[in-house]
């Protein structure tokens, strides 16, 4: 037996339930069909809960349709890119769907980006429009020449539904609130080719440390959404569709965050948005008040949550973006009553390829033996471990580089289709792991030269560049060291020669 025989299929069980071995053929539809279907099936269900404010699914669709219409009227056409430079807020979700309905692709950009980082992503991605909050407007406008965008959409720091923009709005800057008031909820008629047209252009660090644009098509992301909760939670779907909640405490500009937001819409779930992922007190209070069905967080957040007295709740804690330390997983299980389940993937895989099924078992009401590790590949995902030097498959149980192939794997690095993939479509992840006898994968190392700071990727070459700007520095090399206060996280360190 070899990796292409998919030995992990024998582990496709959730308690006594057998999970589908394949979901093919995957529907070739625009990603925004997930929102349209939710608005039709669950119009009165809350789609977004944000600091006590609620937006229902029918309202979210209306906002998205209206924004799509307004984007078209300010010059956005099929194939254009719109940079979403926002924290977690309703506008970020509305923008996500509205941009897709306009036929454009989203460039999700971290609000923590430096000017150089923002200019690189918006500029090299050729963003036509940037959407930001009022507190970032001056900064964005100062970067116009470097970014090359034509327009800015700005929303109030307090929220578009709370108040308008306080400052005077210059030419080619549009208020988010006014766009939703002045245009009809009639999106432009745009023909989408799901396998070719981009839904997202997300930037991530490669081996060089220079962020590269990852081209994710509608088909890539929609396939990944279907490979996730609808597959692994199939025995429970009737009880959660249009009823349950997902607490999103990871940033929407992260591929994990956007994936979970889109997954929530696909099942008509209530998305509970945490504006600041660092606000652990708010996260804990929200868990206690709303008792969500699923809690999505990164290991550093779970470590803090485990220290609080949340109490036993029937929720699935789902960790991503960084490896989960065993002691943190044990602490969360002891506090919440359910094991933490992990997912594995990359921005290049839209973003998930593996699920730890054993982590989902208890919530079905049936105890199954918990297994550590990344989990097993999702349906229709091919995965193998190869020797980094020879490229040959290694025997089961031996370490090597993870390679993946499947419907969720990117179209390529911007702007060249197929770049970053082997001629036969395999993605080299740069992660080192082995597969055990049950088909579960276990990561042992990472080859990518990035520093993991609380789930956020810091590129060492960019740190080096900043250090080199000091006239007294002759040479410098930055790297990550374990953070003694945050298990699983790193601190940035550097060796400098003056």
Token couple for 259 = 């994936």
Q: Is 134 left (phi over 0), alpha (psi -120 to 50) or beta?
A: alpha
- Give me the residues of the chain with pLDDT under 70, please: 206-209, 361-368, 446-450, 457, 459-462, 464-465, 468-469, 471, 473-476, 497
**Which two tokens mark 201?**
């252009």
Q: 449-497: same fold as 57-204?
A: no
Looking at residue 70, its pLDDT comes to 99
- Which CATH class name applies to 3-23+227-442? alpha beta
pLDDT in tens, 429-482: 999 899 999 999 998 876 655 678 877 767 665 676 578 567 676 556 777 888
Name the strand (E) or helix (H) holding 117. helix 115-124
**Global confidence as pTM:** 0.89
Paired residues of 220 in beta bridges: none
CA 76 to mean position of chain CA atoms: 24
Are 270 and 284 spatial neighbours (Cβ–Cβ below 8 Å)?
no
- Pairwise CA distance, residues 294 & 272, whole Å: 10
Q: E strands of 162-219, at which residues?
A: 173-175, 198-205, 211-217
- The C-alpha atoms of residue 17 and residue 236 are separated, in whole angstroms, by 10
Question: What is the Cα–Cα distance from 195 to 221, expressed in whole angstroms?
Answer: 10
Residue partners of 204: CB distance under 8 A and separation at least 6: 211, 212, 214, 255, 346, 347, 348, 457
Q: Domain extents for the chain?
A: 3-23+227-442, 57-204, 449-497
Q: Please name the helix (run of DSSP H) or strand (run of DSSP E) that holds residue 53, with its range, or none.
A: strand 53-56
| Residues paired with 50 in a beta bridge | 53, 273
Q: Is 71 helix (H, G, I), strand (E, B) or coil?
A: helix
Question: Which of 253, 221, 251 lies closest to 122 in space, CA to CA?
Answer: 253
Among residues 416, 406, 329, the alpha carbon closest in space to that of 374 is found at 329
pLDDT digits (tens, 9 = 90+) for 144-169: 999 999 999 999 999 998 878 888 89
Q: How many other C-beta atoms lie within 10 A of the C-beta of residue 411?
A: 22
Distance (Å) of CA 244 to CA 64, 235, 287, 297, 423: 22, 15, 13, 17, 42
In CATH terms, the superfamily for domain 449-497 is ANL, C-terminal domain (3.30.300.30)
Question: What is the model's pLDDT at position 217?
Answer: 99
> Residues 383, 385, 388, CA angle at the centre, nearest 5°?
130
CATH class name, domain 57-204: alpha beta
């Amino acid at each position: 037996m070899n990796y292409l025989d998919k030995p992990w299929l024998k582990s496709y069980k959730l308690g006594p339930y057998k999970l589908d071995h394949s979901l093919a053929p995957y529907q070739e539809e625009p990603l925004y069909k997930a929102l349209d279907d939710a608005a039709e099936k669950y119009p009165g269900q809350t789609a977004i809960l944000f600091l006590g404010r609620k937006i229902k699914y029918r309202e979210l669709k209306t906002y998205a349709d209206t924004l799509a219409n307004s984007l078209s009227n300010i010059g956005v056409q099929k194939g254009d890119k719109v940079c979403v430079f926002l924290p977690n807020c309703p506008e970020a979700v509305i923008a996500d769907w509205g941009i897709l309905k306009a036929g454009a692709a989203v460039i999700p950009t971290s609000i923590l980006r430096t000017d150089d980082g923002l200019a690189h992503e918006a500029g090299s991605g050729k963003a036509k429009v940037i959407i930001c909050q009022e507190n970032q407007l001056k900064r964005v406008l100062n970067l116009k020449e470097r970014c090359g965008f034509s327009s800015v959409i700005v929303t109030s720091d307090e929220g578009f539904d709370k108040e308008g923009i306080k400052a005077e709005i210059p030419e080619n800057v549009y208020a988010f609130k006014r766009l939703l008031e002045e245009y009809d909820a009639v999106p432009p008629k745009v023909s989408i080719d799901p396998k070719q047209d981009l839904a997202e252009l997300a930037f991530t660090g490669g081996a060089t440390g220079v962020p590269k644009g990852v081209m994710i098509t509608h088909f890539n992301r929609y396939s990944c959404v279907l490979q996730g909760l609808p597959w692994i939670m199939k025995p429970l779907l009737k009880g959660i569709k249009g009823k349950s909640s997902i607490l999103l405490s990871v940033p929407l500009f992260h591929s994990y965050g956007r994936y979970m937001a889109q997954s929530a819409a696909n099942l008509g779930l209530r998305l509970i948005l945490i504006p600041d992922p660092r606000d652990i007190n708010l996260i804990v209070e929200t868990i206690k008040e709303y008792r969500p069905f699923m809690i999505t967080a990164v290991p550093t957040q779970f470590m803090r949550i485990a220290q609080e007295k949340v109490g036993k709740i029937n929720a699935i804690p789902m960790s991503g973006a960084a490896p989960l330390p065993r002691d943190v997983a044990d602490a969360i299980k002891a506090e919440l009553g359910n094991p933490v389940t992990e997912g594995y993937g990359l921005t290049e895989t839209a973003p998930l390829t593996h699920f730890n099924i054993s982590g989902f078992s208890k919530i079905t009401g049936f105890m199954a033996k918990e297994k550590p590790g990344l989990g097993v590949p999702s349906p229709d995902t091919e995965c193998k471990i190869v020797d980094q030097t020879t490229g040959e498959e290694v025997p089961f149980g031996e370490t090597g580089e993870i390679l993946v192939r499947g419907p969720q794997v990117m179209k390529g690095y911007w702007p060249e289709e197929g770049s970053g993939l082997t001629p036969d479509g395999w993605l080299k992840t740069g992660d080192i792991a082995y597969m055990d006898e049950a088909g579960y994968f276990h990561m042992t190392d990472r080859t990518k030269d990035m520093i993991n700071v609380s789930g956020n990727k810091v590129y060492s070459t960019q740190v080096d560049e900043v250090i080199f700007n000091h006239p007294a520095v002759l040479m410098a090399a930055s790297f990550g060291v374990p953070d003694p206060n945050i298990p699983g996280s790193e601190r940035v360190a550097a060796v400098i020669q003056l």
